[in-house]
Structure 1
Amino acid sequence: MHLRQLSKYLKKKRKYFKCIVCAIVLWCTYDYFGIGDYLHASSFKNDFHYPLDVDVRELVNEVLTNQKLTVTPINYYPYSFLSNSGKCSNVEKIDLMIVVKSAMDHFGHRDAIRKTYGNEDVPGRTVKILFFLGVDGKTKSDVQRQIDREMAEFHDIIQMDFIDYYYNNTIKTMMSFRWVYEHCAHADHYLFTDDDMYISVNNLLSYLYERDATRTPAAGSLDSPGELQGDLLFTGYVFHSAPQRFRFSKWRVSLEEYRWDRWPDYVTAAAYVVSNKAMRVMYIGSMFVKHFRFDDIYLGIVAKKVGITPEHCPLFYFHKKPFSRDDYEDLIASHGYQDHEELIRVWHEMNSK
């Protein structure tokens, strides 16, 4: 009798233990995949109002028309430029300004770019290029000493006094916007790109020329008067996606950081182009839009707040496009060129007569 009762008792214990284990597994799964965050996210379509909750377009117009601001800016990065460049000085017309986000120790990347699409030799067009870097926080490290020599030789590096790492990319991007806004505000277009991209400057200029020739005067205009009228181009590879809520994802975003179920349409930060007016509008608008740590998402939010619709261009590839002359004939940008010799080889093959 006692053995039978003991057996029943042990079966109940095992069943109870299995229930506990199942509950723990379910909870871990729920937590790991961020299911609660997905379930409780607010509707982007019906409820998006990222701070500041004001008409940012009107504030941009106030700045551009030298009016007194009715709202105080909330987002001005407290960093300085440690170097400068006279590349835009005494140049009346610049067709394309290339802004390269580069890591401090990417000496080979910058050298390969100077030998290829960054050589500024485009017949009949004026093209300029600058590299934008942060600092490593160390006093005269070996890397910094090499950068100092590089700056002295090429005069094409703008260094800024924030720590250079992945989650500071938005700071690097918006400080780059600030530099061109303050020191090179007369270029027709600006290409912002990472330092591991293949770029065809000729194809990009042809694309922009053809687009300008065919667009209607009202394309890309805001509804506000005066300075904001004109072409507000923001183009590249456009994404329509949702935040990742996975607990251990590099790109995880909590509801506290961003509570909506969709991102605004955004252009991958690997390479994108803005027109002159779009650069000015987006930079000024960013002063009234709360910081966000992913630069491509942040620019998508800023674009939405100022009324610019990102324009998809299929000639920009956010991944590495396998090389062939035919496939690269019209291509503007391809990601993933970590091999410097490969970048040089592909560029020379596409630019050889």
Structure 2
Amino acid sequence: MRKRSRFKLLKYLAVAGLITLLFIFAFNGTLLWPSLPKKTPTPKELHDVISPSTYRFILNQPELCEKKSPFLVLMIPVTLKNREARTAIRRTWGQHGLIPGVAILHLFVLGQPAQSEPVLQEQLETESKEYGDIIQMDFVDSYHNLTIKTMMIMNWVATYCQAAWYTMKIDADVFLNVRYLVDYLHGRDESSRKDYITGSVISDAVPHRDSYNKWYIPEDLYPDTWYPPYVSGAAYVFSTDLARKISWASRFVLPIPLEDVYVGMCLHVLGVKPVYATRFLRLRNLFEVRKLSYERCTFSKRIVVNGFNPQNLLRIWHDFQKSQSTC
């Protein structure tokens, strides 16, 4: 009888403990599941700074997706002076027909320089006529305006290419293993077609309050202690439905000059959590935002690797295209 009584007592204690935990979570749930921020509209004069509707197109490709529904659209931020990078990308991971039977488009996204560059602008317009892969708006192209450029990307996809399955924002100095990416996305379940964004997730970032820091953010722009989870801006992939939703959410987020953090803030408004892209018990990061020394077998098991100039990208791509059967 004593054993039975002791067993009942332990059972009651376990149930009571469970109820207590549920009670704590119910009243203090923000510790585990933060509530969504209140949707307070950003003052119009501030939202207009990042809104693509404030600016006009200099170059556009509005009919690019009309005759096809791409599986993937690569949106590549560059500047007017990045002609060598654009050429290298067209000859490597941006080339047409790279994966037979899979429609992939690439577009270079630009603003305009603070000081007029008529010769370079004329060359860009000639380049646009030849390749049909350039969109340009008349905001000033600068590091602190990358948030504007990112919202331009979201707006363009939402307006002109809604039928695409996925969109990738990828910097021009990044190596992209296109086949691995396509295989990875084909391996996702149906849920990845909605509210899905993946890359190298940063979930422990804090605002830098030192005004001399490159990533300085004053408290009046962002008063919280932590940033919400976001994906590194070097490269990330998202289901195309998010382009429209992020554009909408931007109406409730104060602009900051950190474009990847800003996208994370918009995702937080939407209640969307970025997904970390890993393989083999999370030990292999598929989106390498650090620079790795080139080794064909290592690169064959990554989606992106960061930090290559155009000459290195061409050299690496030439070697990478060789047989990888030994990897």
TM bin, normalised by shorter chain, reads 0.7 to 0.9
| TM-score relative to the length of structure 1 | 0.73
Cα distance between partner residues in 1 of 2:146 and 2:117? 22
Structure 2 counterpart SS, 1:119 = coil
Structure 2 counterpart of 1:322, which letter?
A: S
Identify the residue that residue 75 of structure 1 maps to in structure 2. Answer: 47
1:322 to 293, 306, 312: 293
Could you list the runs of 5+ residues in structure 2 that have no partner in the other structure? Answer: 1-29, 278-284
Displacement after TM superposition at 1:252 (Å): 1.2
Q: CA RMSD in A?
A: 2.5
1:114 to 65, 85, 90: 90
Structure 2 counterpart of 1:147, which letter?
A: L
- Structure 1 residues 49 and 211: alpha-carbon distance in aligned structure 2, compared to 1, 3 A threshold: closer
Structure 1 counterpart of 2:217, which letter?
A: V
| TM-score relative to the length of structure 2 | 0.79
- Structure 1 residues 239 and 248: alpha-carbon distance in aligned structure 2, compared to 1, 3 A threshold: same
Could you list the runs of 5+ residues in structure 1 that have no partner in the other structure? Answer: 1-43, 57-71, 221-229
Cα distance between partner residues in 2 of 1:124 and 1:248? 50
1:130 to 107, 112, 115: 107
Displacement after TM superposition at 1:45 (Å): 6.3
- Structure 1 residues 48 and 81: alpha-carbon distance in aligned structure 2, compared to 1, 3 A threshold: farther
Cα distance between partner residues in 1 of 2:127 and 2:167? 23
1:90 to 56, 59, 67: 67
Identify the residue that residue 312 of structure 1 maps to in structure 2. Answer: 276
Structure 2 counterpart SS, 1:82 = strand
1:270 to 219, 234, 241: 234
1:235 to 169, 174, 198: 198
Residue 167 in structure 1 maps to residue 139 in structure 2? no
Show the 5 A alignment for 1:114-263. 114-121=90-97, 122-139=99-116, 141-212=118-189, 219=191, 231-240=194-203, 241-263=205-227
Structure 1 counterpart of 2:162, which letter?
A: A
Displacement after TM superposition at 1:153 (Å): 1.7
Displacement after TM superposition at 1:137 (Å): 4.0
Structure 2 counterpart of 1:115, which letter?
A: R
Contact 1:74–1:289 under 8 Å retained in 2: no
Identify the residue that residue 335 of structure 1 maps to in structure 2. Answer: 306
Cα distance between partner residues in 2 of 1:298 and 1:112? 29
Cα distance between partner residues in 1 of 2:223 and 2:249? 22
Cα distance between partner residues in 1 of 2:84 and 2:109? 15
Identify the residue that residue 321 of structure 2 maps to in structure 1. Answer: 351
Cα distance between partner residues in 2 of 1:151 and 1:94? 20
Identify the residue that residue 23 of structure 2 maps to in structure 1. Answer: none
Structure 2 counterpart of 1:347, which letter?
A: W
Cα distance between partner residues in 1 of 2:73 and 2:273? 22
Displacement after TM superposition at 1:305 (Å): 0.5
Displacement after TM superposition at 1:301 (Å): 0.2
Structure 2 counterpart SS, 1:112 = helix
Cα distance between partner residues in 2 of 1:347 and 1:117? 8
Cα distance between partner residues in 2 of 1:265 and 1:191? 18
Cα distance between partner residues in 2 of 1:237 and 1:51? 27
Structure 2 counterpart of 1:53, which letter?
A: T
> RCO higher in 1 or 2 (8 Å CA, sep ≥ 6)?
1
Structure 2 counterpart SS, 1:158 = strand
Q: Note the alpha carbon deviations across 1:60-86, whole angstroms, 9 max, x for none.
A: xxxxxxxxxxxx997352111111113
Contact 2:46–2:255 under 8 Å retained in 1: no
Structure 1 counterpart SS, 2:57 = coil
Q: Name the % identity.
A: 30
Contact 1:51–1:289 under 8 Å retained in 2: no
